[in-house]
Structure 1
């Protein structure tokens, strides 16, 4: 006599606003370090960006964030943060490694990518709680002219941001 057996498992991931806050603190440390080292944006503006990233992440509206440094219209540095809401396999890294150079004619761009849950109605509801007036962008975020140079993971329970650096 032979027997066949099957088993199924499922994994559930949960996170709280405190988990989002813990991860976004590391993102904030990164963007403030970029502001201070590159001089391409003020620390106050960097904190405004971080505020909005946290607000959107807490609502489940944030999918990805790209930060880019340009000099003379040419992309020189970039960092990309991919939001991961099943980050049980990620570990918490320390922020840092983003001491970007001061460049002539420097400019800074930040592009947010949203989840499908961020509908037009939700955008309207969120508008007054955000510090930045976000609008559509056609900026290329492929970072094709740069070389991937490393990564770090920021995670707390099931919420994480996977950082990829480009130089």
Structure 2
């Protein structure tokens, strides 16, 4: 009989390193599209980091819309066993300026983000997040690759879509 154990360990520094790459992407999207300001991007990135640091973040979906029509999208899925991922540099997100730009940001939470956790986090978040029924399947877009951001066993797997 053989037994094996595998441990995936990461620290808050690892989470911060990964979120910094997400933040860089978000700032590039803000600059290139004009859909949000740098201050708004910083506030969104802060919330993502707070939720990730506390184990409440499952994934983040970003979608650029023009007059309600999807133009580009990214989905970052949290991986807490990312030791085998090869980390990429941020980028590839110099999205176009489109008429009437709107950047939709949808957060998906872990099961641990219950009512008590929401209440405890409320004062630490810069934005008030509300439930949504937005379709994040990106069925009108084409998959166009992605990138991985990792530090030790913590990572974000990014999937990209474009027209």
Question: What is the TM-score of this pair, normalised by structure 1?
Answer: 0.96
1:81 matched to which residue of 2? 76
2:53 maps to 1:58: yes
1:132 matched to which residue of 2? 127
* 1:92 Cα deviation from its structure 2 partner: 1.4
Distance across 1 between alignment mates of 2:46 and 2:85: 23
2:20 matched to which residue of 1? 25
2:108 matched to which residue of 1? 113
Structure 2: any 5+ residue segments left out of the alignment?
none
RMSD: 0.5
Secondary structure at the counterpart of residue 27 of structure 2: helix
Distance across 2 between alignment mates of 1:17 and 1:78: 27
Structure 1: any 5+ residue segments left out of the alignment?
1-5
Distance across 2 between alignment mates of 1:84 and 1:15: 11
Once the two structures are superposed, the pairs formed by residues 40-51 of structure 1 within 5 Å of their partners are 40-51=35-46
* 1:46 Cα deviation from its structure 2 partner: 0.6
Distance across 1 between alignment mates of 2:88 and 2:115: 35
Distance across 2 between alignment mates of 1:89 and 1:114: 24
Distance across 2 between alignment mates of 1:118 and 1:91: 29
Distance across 1 between alignment mates of 2:70 and 2:3: 48
* 1:52 Cα deviation from its structure 2 partner: 0.4
Distance across 2 between alignment mates of 1:53 and 1:116: 16
* 1:89 Cα deviation from its structure 2 partner: 0.9
2:114 maps to 1:123: no
* 1:148 Cα deviation from its structure 2 partner: 0.6
2:154 maps to 1:155: no
Secondary structure at the counterpart of residue 29 of structure 2: helix
Distance across 2 between alignment mates of 1:117 and 1:67: 23
Of structures 1 and 2, the larger Rg is shown by 1
* 1:106 Cα deviation from its structure 2 partner: 1.1
Distance across 2 between alignment mates of 1:77 and 1:41: 15
* 1:93 Cα deviation from its structure 2 partner: 0.7
2:97 matched to which residue of 1? 102
